[in-house]
Structure 1
Amino acid sequence: MRIDYVEAFFLEDNQNELNIVTDIEDIGKYQLYWTYERNALTEDKEFILESDQKNQTFEFAYNTDRVNYFIIEFENHRPLLFGYRILPMSGMYNFRDIGGYRTEEGKRIKWGVGFRSDHLQNLNDDGFEFLRSIGLKSVIDFRSPFEVDKDPNPFFSEAAQAFNFDPQAHVAMAAGSAQNLDTSEDMKERALKAIASGETGAQQMVDQQLAFVDSPTSIEAFKQTLKTVAQAENIPTMQHCRGGKDRTGFALMVLEGLLGVPTSSLVYDYMLTNRARAKKNVSYYNRFLEETGNEKIAQYLYSLFDTKEEFICASIEKIVTNYGTIRQYAQIVLELSDEEISALEELFLEEE
């Protein structure tokens, strides 16, 4: 039985959603457990429910002193470990585990080794404690020096080495300003100039993704990122920018893609930012409209941090057209050696 991935999401009031992605119609009965252990075969687990549904809501109170995992035991498939795709990091809204995705060769990305997120400025004490429990060894920041100077990452662990690899993504920086609810005269003037010239925020986001593929500064930033996370002493790792969508989205797309994750899952992982900030989106647009008094400006500003499939698909299609596969792109353009790719596979992948 082929399971593409299993994941959980918090809904509200201890209500959670189980999501089993497979093309099998009848998956049979399964049992769901929770555990602190990152091991699908552990005996240290607590029963939650039995079901035969691919999508199931269940009651569970997440213990935020450390990461909680789930185990699903099928009748016709080996047990699978999985976790919250969007972690309950107090003060952050887009902190995600990239674990669980199945590769084309039938392996899986390990849970608890690779994370992606928005910036850390709003972490509170509970968030800091939960972040420390993950045991990060590296934090890769894609923000510009200006953004870092304005909002430096707070210190949270002596064990986590900090890296700053800036791809010089000016559109993403503007999106960060929009996400900070920047409706200053300068921001409004830039929006009006863009609108007058016929530019749209969506097209700028597409252009940004295309530039990530082959601009010299982007190549250097994403090359150094992969070479850094190919070293065992830097795992577990977290990669982030301002909102955790575009710069981080491209970086994780390349990492997951070279590991063999199919395009459908790459796009799905990118689009999860919409789910992560679903409650924020409506309020953001209304705030832009209220403060600018101009519907076109409000729509333009909102489009700068919108999340659409066409953004990440643009870079994937350019890579595949020019280089054949994401792995070949990583080898040819990002100059990853066979040894480094093997190290990434060893660190991030496990047998199903």
Structure 2
Amino acid sequence: MSSYAVYPDGRMIPYEGVHNFRDMGGYETGEGRRVKYGLFFRSAELHGLTPADLEHLETLGIKTVLDYRHEQEAARKPNPDIAGAAYECIPALAVDPSVPVSAAGSIEELLAGGLPAAFGPDMLAGFYAKLPFGNASYQRLMAVIQEPVRLGLLHHCAAGKDRTGVGSALILLALGVPEETVMADYLLTNEGLASFTAAIKARLAPYLDEQGLVSFEAMMAAKPAYLEAALDAIKGRYGSYDAYFEQEFGLTAERLGKLRAYCLE
């Protein structure tokens, strides 16, 4: 089996064929406990896993894979089978299947879809603000994390940034991790996608004007304002995260306590 080095914090796993793959463990809660490693993983799409990547990934104890992509995205770049893991594809809210979100390897699809112009900062912030509510993906996510036998959980979308970014924030907030730490985890995506974004930008550069490139960078970046839009929307509607988790997902104080008892150390 190939050896995979990890970054100093032990969180990022630099697979050859998959970007932005990392363990969500190790984060400290407001009460001084820490999220256990090996329970929650996040990543970009898994279609590019090499045989060596897959061999290593299967040592992580993944029991459940939640795919937030639309069915068309998943069909175009299907996940490989992961031994011992159940796979569920539940599209996240308000994703237009005609927009080639996961087609960043195809210049033709990007240009045909008008993606760089469409995905500006304001549009993305608005997208984030809608994601936390009435979302079947996150309903399922919050149910799965309450079942110890379904963990380790690997959840992902196309780049592991937007849909996965909000899902990851919800997991960490439910475990009592402070907002600033949740934001730090979100911003690690800029590191996880750096080489991928640079390569695609180089391919697109001959086809786009300066404004198009600026829009493309805004689309690919994890910006604090994006996640803040989701968190502000939650607090604006419910007043607190506890109220949000209880009313959106039935995560009462008792259930949150049980969740934290298992997932924290």
Question: With structure 1 as the length reference, what TM-score do the two structures score?
Answer: 0.69
The equivalent of 2:214 in structure 1 is 299
Structure 1 residues 84, 181: closer, same or farther in 2, change over 3 A? Answer: farther
Question: Does 119-128 or 175-184 show the bigger shift?
Answer: 175-184
AA aligned opposite 1:102: E
The equivalent of 2:201 in structure 1 is 285
Choose the corresponding residue for 1:321, options 214, 220, 236.
236
Partner Cα distance (1:107, 1:170) in 2: 36
AA aligned opposite 1:336: L
Offset, 1:144: 0.7
The equivalent of 1:93 in structure 2 is 19
Choose the corresponding residue for 1:311, options 208, 226, 229.
226
The equivalent of 2:129 in structure 1 is 210
The equivalent of 1:114 in structure 2 is 40
Asked if 2 retains the 8 angstrom alpha-carbon contact of 1:144 and 1:168, the reply is no
Question: With structure 2 as the length reference, what TM-score do the two structures score?
Answer: 0.89
AA aligned opposite 2:218: S
Offset, 1:338: 4.2
Structure 1 residues 109, 175: closer, same or farther in 2, change over 3 A? Answer: farther
Asked if 2 retains the 8 angstrom alpha-carbon contact of 1:165 and 1:225, the reply is no
Choose the corresponding residue for 1:147, options 73, 84, 99.
73
Offset, 1:276: 1.2
The equivalent of 1:163 in structure 2 is 88
AA aligned opposite 1:154: P
Structure with the larger strand share: 1
Structure with the larger helix share: 2
Q: Which runs of 5+ in 2 are unaligned?
A: none
AA aligned opposite 1:202: P
Asked if 1 retains the 8 angstrom alpha-carbon contact of 2:25 and 2:35, the reply is yes
AA aligned opposite 1:213: P
Q: Is residue 187 of structure 2 the alignment partner of residue 262 of structure 1?
A: no
Matched length: 264
Q: Which runs of 5+ in 1 are unaligned?
A: 1-62, 71-82, 195-199
Asked if 2 retains the 8 angstrom alpha-carbon contact of 1:245 and 1:273, the reply is yes
Asked if 2 retains the 8 angstrom alpha-carbon contact of 1:227 and 1:336, the reply is no
The equivalent of 2:58 in structure 1 is 132
Task: Report sequence identity in percent.
Answer: 27
Asked if 1 retains the 8 angstrom alpha-carbon contact of 2:18 and 2:46, the reply is yes
Offset, 1:143: 0.6
Partner Cα distance (2:189, 2:202) in 1: 19
Partner Cα distance (2:189, 2:51) in 1: 24
Q: Which has the larger radius of gyration?
A: 1
Offset, 1:201: 1.1
AA aligned opposite 2:131: F
The equivalent of 1:221 in structure 2 is 137
